[in-house]
Amino acid sequence: MTGNLGINGDSAVALAWKQVDPDVCAAYPITPQTIIVERFSDYVADGEVETEFVCTESEHSAMTVCIASASAGARTVTATASAGLAYMWETLGIASGLRVPLTMTVANRALSGPLNIHCDHSDVMAARDLGWIIMFAENVQEAYDNAIMAMRIAEHPDVQLPVMTNLDGFILTHAIERMTPLDSHTVKDFVGEYKPLYPLLDVKNPVTHGVMDLQDSYFEHRYQVNQAMKASANVIEQVFKEFGKISGRHYDMIETYMCDDADYVTLTIGSTAGTMKAAVDELRAEGHKVGAVKLKVMRPFPAQKLRDVMAGKKCVAVMDRHLIVGVSGPVFLEVAADLMDLPDCPKLVNYVYGLGGRDVMVEDLKQVYMNMMNDKQDKVNYLGVKL
């Protein structure tokens, strides 16, 4: 397959899976992830992939099947959103703790209530501490690319961790954008034949997964998860580099835009990082020294990269599409902890925005920079809330 497609984010992820042809997919449909599962089950029904598709009765079961099949040695994928991710919650730590390299796409949606089906990051942020590698997409192209790269990252011997690739619900899942797929042969070559390290089904080398792990060894295993997460940074960079060679699309754990001489910088996740660049363009045209950083990979947290970019700036606004009730946005806390011992630490402020799909316009984002320049803001601000 070559040329450009007009395709929505969910269909693009399903296409990536089709080209990979994973061994197992266990999933339960939930808005706005539904199209992924629908399209992929079409591919299964039409015989275009050999994947064993397991229709589970819930997300909890879906993740349990995924952990089991990945432990058995199968390349395994799934997808969910919002309440579905919450329903998986207790099994997410099992996936990382058992070191199963499965991949999951999350179509980010508010974790109700009141009932809301639209985009924010309350689903993924509530799952951020469970040992998964976490990546985000700015656009449909990235959602497709991430789904492919995630497998290489998860399955690397130095990593052996589950990877979650996120895309903004509706804003990306249901919007048609121009996307350039790789041809299926290239995708298959890139992910390669899956060789699991310790599969349950290798009866000549028997292993056990998921046994009791008490006071004498549990701490060491969680420590090892932490070490693997740290080691994954190098692997991610290597995979990004290799992917750049075959696709011409070059990624980094963070992306900087007009930051070199900027005094005022924002840090953003997901589709808003695109809109933010448009805000920077308009302000630059008016002569303002502003820049934008996109956080593409949140786990592992690219602490040193952020320090290198943020050091010496006058002010940094961290944009959070989730609110830790009673505190602030979560990314703000992580950035603040990261930068606090810099000798020239910038002033740090937080903007919580876009909850439940509240639209965010270029004008809103320009206002964030204007507030920074005029220093007319609180430590934690609520952008676009009607008061």
Partner 1 sequence: MNIEIVWHGRGGQGVVTANEILAETAISEGKYVKAFPEFGPERMGAPIRAFTRISSKPVQVHSQVYHPDIVVVLDPTLIGKVDVLNGLKEDGFLLANYPGTPEELKKSLKTEMKVHTVNATKISMEEIGRPVANTAILGALTKISPLVSYEALQDQISTKFQGKLPEKAIVKNIVALERAHKEVL
| Other beta carbons within 10 Å of 118 | 20
Residues 6+ apart with CB under 8 A from 157: 197
Q: Is 271 in the site for partner 1 (CB under 8 A)?
A: yes
Distance in Å, CB of 351 to partner 1, minimum: 16
Q: Nearest 5°: phi and psi at 104?
A: -140, 135
Identify the three-state secondary structure at position 222: helix
Given the rule CB under 8 A, which of 154-162, 184-192, 193-201, 275-283 is the region that contacts partner 1? 275-283
> Which range, of 69-77, 82-90, 266-274, 311-319, touches partner 1 by CB under 8 A?
266-274
Dump strand ranges (E) for the chain: 5-8, 24-27, 52-55, 76-80, 103-108, 133-136, 163-168, 176-179, 254-257, 264-268, 290-295, 297-299, 315-320, 347-353, 380-383
Residue from 93, 244, 274, 356 touching partner 1 (CB under 8 A): that is 274
Q: Tell me if 307 sits within 8 A of 345, measured CB to CB.
A: no
Q: Which of 246, 244, 267 lies closest to 255 in space, CA to CA?
A: 267
Under rule CB under 8 A, how many of the chain's residues touch partner 1? 25
| Residue 362 vs residues 263, 269, 283, 284, 369: alpha-carbon distances, Å | 19, 15, 10, 13, 11
Kindly tell me which of 160 and 266 has the beta carbon lying closer to partner 1.
266
Using CB under 8 A, pick the residue from 118, 121, 128, 152 that binds partner 1.
118
User: Contact between 170 and partner 1 (CB under 8 A)?
Assistant: yes
Per DSSP, the residues of 199-217 read: -TT-TTS----S----TTT
Tell me whether residue 343 is exposed, middle or buried, using C-beta atoms within 10 angstroms of its C-beta: 0 to 12, 13 to 18, 19 or more.
exposed
Which of 48, 90, 202, 359 lies at the binding interface for partner 1 (CB under 8 A)?
359
Residue 171 lies near partner 1 (rule: CB under 8 A): yes
Cβ closer to partner 1: 152 or 277? Answer: 277
Residue closer to partner 1 (CB basis): 64 or 139: 139
Q: Is residue 176 close enough to count as binding partner 1 by CB under 8 A?
A: yes
Closest CB 25 distance from partner 1, rounded Å = 25
Q: From CA 250, how far away is CA 9, in angstroms rounded?
A: 19
**Residue appearing with tokens 């809103």:** 364
Give least dist CB 284 to partner 1, A: 14
| Nearest Cα residue to 95 out of 127, 70, 124 | 70
Please say which residue, 172 or 339, places its beta carbon nearer to partner 1: 172
Q: Does 282 bind partner 1 (CB under 8 A)?
A: no
Instruction: Indicate whether 278 belongs to the interface with partner 1 (CB under 8 A).
Output: yes
Closest CA to 373 of 285, 273, 283, 270: 283
Q: What is the nearest approach in angstroms of partner 1 to the Cβ of residue 121?
A: 14
Identity of the residue, 334 or 364, whose beta carbon is nearer to partner 1 in the bound complex: 364
Of 78-86, 93-101, 174-182, 240-248, the segment contacting partner 1 by CB under 8 A is: 174-182
Q: Is 168 in the site for partner 1 (CB under 8 A)?
A: yes
345 counts as binding partner 1 under rule CB under 8 A: no
Which letter does DSSP use for residue 372 in this model?
H
Q: Is 6 in the site for partner 1 (CB under 8 A)?
A: yes
Query: Is 343 strand, coil or helix?
Result: coil
Stretch that binds partner 1, among 10-18, 152-160, 205-213, 267-275 (CB under 8 A): 267-275
Among 55, 311, 361, 385, binds partner 1 (CB under 8 A): 361
Stretch touching partner 1 by CB under 8 A, among 120-128, 165-173, 192-200, 331-339: 165-173
The encoded tokens of residue 216 equal 């004498």
Token duo for residue 217: 């060894």
Q: Which residues are near partner 1 by CB under 8 A?
A: 4-6, 117-118, 139, 168, 170-172, 174-178, 271-272, 274-275, 277-278, 359-362
